[in-house]
Amino acid sequence: MRPRAARYLTSATRPAEFPAADLPEIAFAGRSNVGKSSLINTLAGVSGLARTSRTPGRTRLLNWFRIDLPKATHGNDAVYFVDLPGYGFASVDRSMRASWRPLMESYLGERSTLKVVALLIDIRRGVEDEERDFVPWLLEKRITVVPVITKADKLGKAKRLPIAAAIRAELGLPRPPVLFSSLEATGGDELWRALLAGLA
Ligand SMILES: Nc1nc2c(ncn2[C@@H]2O[C@H](COP(=O)(O)OP(=O)(O)OP(=O)(O)O)[C@@H](O)[C@H]2O)c(=O)[nH]1
Ligand SMILES: [Mg+2]
C-alpha cells in the first residue's frame, strides 16, 4: 500500500503545541535508534519525510505527518502519523530524560484521537526494561498496540519467526509482532493492514 500523499505537519515539545485533534492518529514508539523515523519514511513511501540519523536520540520532539490514504478506511481518508521521541538512550541530557515521561504520559494518556501505538523493538536487542514497563501501561490504557520488530534484515530469515514468538510471549502481546525491515522494504503491507485495522 502506498499513500496518495504524505507531508510534515508540525512538531511539539509540550501539549500546548499539539495540533488540532482532527484526524485519527497512529503513533510510533520505541527505543532511540530502533528505526522509527526510517519506518515512517518506508510506510509513507517518501524518503526524508521523517529525519533519520546514526546518532541515537535524534528525534526529541513529537512530529506529526499527514498521510492521505489511497482509499477510505473505516470512514477515514487521511490519518496522522506521529513520530515519538525515543526512550532509553543514556547520553541524552538529563533535562531531556526528565521531560520525556510526563510528555509521553500526557500525549499517550490524553490524546483523544490516538487510535494505535506501533511499538518498535530492534531484532538484535529484543525486550528490555523499558518495554516491560511500557507495554502493560499501554494495555491498561486500552490503547491498541501493534508490535513491530525492526531491522529484521540483521538476522537470517529462519531466526526471525522464533524471535517474534519469544517477544510476543515475553510481553504478553495480544498479537504477534510484524517483522519489518526498512532496508529490505519487507513487512510494509502487513504493517499497513495491522495499523489500519486499528482505526476501526
Ligand atoms: N539494517 C537496518 N538499519 C536500519 C533500519 N531502519 C533504520 N536503520 C538504521 O538505524 C539508525 C536509526 O534509524 P532511525 O530511523 O533514525 O531511528 P529512530 O528510532 O528514529 O531514532 P531516534 O529518532 O534517534 O529515536 C539509522 O542508522 C538507520 O539507517 C533497517 O530496517 N535495517
Ligand atoms: Mg527518529
What distance in Å separates the CA atoms of residue 89 and residue 112, rounded to the nearest whole number? 28
Is 36 close to ligand 1, i.e. is its CB under 6 Å away? yes
Is residue 197 within 8 A of residue 118, CB to CB? The reply is no
Atom 27 in ligand 1: residue holding the nearest Cα = 54
Is the Cα torsion angle 14, 196, 125, 156 positive or negative in sign?
Answer: negative
Residues shown for the chain: 200
The pLDDT, as a whole number, for residue 96 is: 63
Cβ partners under 8 Å of residue 106, min gap 6: 15
Return the domain boundaries, the chain. Answer: 5-197
Cell 494495555: give the residue: 139
H/E stretch holding 30 reads strand 25-30
pLDDT reported for residue 93: 61
Contact 168, 176 (CB under 8 A): yes
Residue 97's pLDDT is 67
Burial 157-194 (b: 16+ CB within 10 A, else e): eeebeebbeebbeebebeeebbbbbbeeebbbeebbeb
Sorted by sequence, the CB contacts under 8 Å of residue 36 that are 6+ apart come out as 28, 29, 30, 50, 59, 83, 84, 86, 120
Tell how far the Cα of 160 is from the centroid of ligand 2, in angstroms: 24
Residue 148 pLDDT: 98
User: What superfamily in CATH does domain 5-197 come from?
Assistant: P-loop containing nucleotide triphosphate hydrolases (3.40.50.300)
**Residue 55's pLDDT is what?**
65
pLDDT in tens, the chain (200 residues): 899 999 999 999 899 999 999 999 999 999 989 999 999 999 999 999 998 876 655 557 899 999 999 989 889 999 999 999 888 765 556 666 677 788 888 999 999 999 999 999 999 999 998 899 889 989 888 899 999 999 999 999 999 999 999 999 999 998 999 999 999 999 999 999 999 999 98
Ligand 1 contact, 52 CB (< 6 A): yes
pLDDT at 100: 79
Q: Is the CB of 42 under 6 A from ligand 1?
A: no
Grid cell at residue 127: 525486550
Q: How far is CA 108 from CA 9, 113, 142, 180, in A?
A: 19, 10, 11, 24
Q: How far is the CA of 38 from the centre of ligand 1 (A)?
A: 6
